[in-house]
Amino acid sequence: MAAAVHNEWGISELKANSSEKDTRKTYDTWAKTYEEDTDKLGYKGHVLCIEAFNKAMQSKDIFPEANKDIKILDAGAGTGIIGEMLVQQGYSNIDALDISEEMLNLAKKKNIYKRYICAALSDVPIDDIQTGEYDVTLCAGTIVYGQAKPAALDECVRHVRPGKVLLLYLLWSRAAVFHSHIKLLLLRFLTITNCITLSLEKELYVLKKVLHPKMFKDYTGPNNHLSPDSLSTPFIIFHCLSPGGIFIFSIRADSFDPVELGYSTKFEEMETAGKWRLVKRERRELYAHPHEERFRDCYLITYKVLKN
């Protein structure tokens, strides 16, 4: 067990090698004063995740089927602050998951969630959650060293409904006929993949660049007989995402930045494996008054889930 370091409220602080038992104990002990304490520090994890969620709901490219009945998982829900904000906005189909019974007990008093799942996000599948059960997972302040480890990310992605990838291709010689149509599809593709928008000629070049040959192995459609070499043959290939779920989370910069902690590497591995596609990542202030400067910033990240 990691040596206990205590913060100003006498709560033991978690370290990279803290066990699930340490994490549970820390939050069980902290639960009663958690909201008051984090408020004093100017904690914003929940606000940031709701901000990213609202942006995604307003964007047809990121989440085309936005409606108030979508099924949402608040992963690492704690005392239910995210749930409260969602309910205020009219969402009601929300479940809470947390490792700490005491944190969940406080969330229960707010009467906002449909289900309360007391379980750890780890490399072990959670029996109570079906594969692809949720349209959106929000996860504030939970993916961080000492808590949900990089190995838990496959399980987080398993909970979210995957999108499908459509592969369309056209003979180059007929492409001119579809010129405006093609441009629209490309713009859509480039928006989803977060690429910058370029002129059509350059877009075609970029498209060839961004379609990694491995994608052809992962996403072959029923009539797809193209090989990676086809990229140099006179075909235009569109790679479009059909609606799928999203996973939004904050991760403290002192967990994401040091490569040795394994988070950033795991994110890349999952992208290469076609499990998710990055929609947006931005560095933001997490604590307005951190008790230590290393806790000030986080990354606010949105991924579109593709495969689980």
Ligand X SMILES: C[S@@+](CC[C@H](N)C(=O)[O-])C[C@H]1O[C@@H](n2cnc3c(N)ncnc32)[C@H](O)[C@@H]1O
**List of residues contacting ligand X (CB under 6 A):** 23, 27, 45-46, 76-78, 81-82, 98-100, 103, 120-122, 140-142, 147-148
Identify residue 304 by its one-letter amino acid code: K
Taking the complex as a whole, how short is the minimal distance between the CB of residue 54 and ligand X, in angstroms? 16
Q: Which residue is nearest to ligand X (CB)?
A: 78
CB of 119 or CB of 204, closer to ligand X: 119
Tokens of 9: 């409220």
CB of 45 or CB of 163, closer to ligand X: 45
Tokens of 182: 């093609």
CB of 27 or CB of 216, closer to ligand X: 27
Scanning the chain, the segments in alpha helix (DSSP H) are 20-40, 45-58, 81-88, 101-110, 153-158, 172-175, 179-192, 200-210, 213-218, 253-256, 263-272
Taking the complex as a whole, how short is the minimal distance between the CB of residue 10 and ligand X, in angstroms? 17
Taking the complex as a whole, how short is the minimal distance between the CB of residue 98 and ligand X, in angstroms? 5
Residue 303, SS3? Answer: strand
DSSP letter, residue 259: G
Taking the complex as a whole, how short is the minimal distance between the CB of residue 102 and ligand X, in angstroms? 9
CA distance 102 to 78: 9
DSSP letter, residue 137: E
Identify residue 162 by its one-letter amino acid code: P
Taking the complex as a whole, how short is the minimal distance between the CB of residue 295 and ligand X, in angstroms? 11
Is residue 124 within 8 A of residue 99, CB to CB? The reply is: no
CB of 56 or CB of 103, closer to ligand X: 103
Residue holding tokens 């995740």?
A: 49
CB of 73 or CB of 120, closer to ligand X: 120
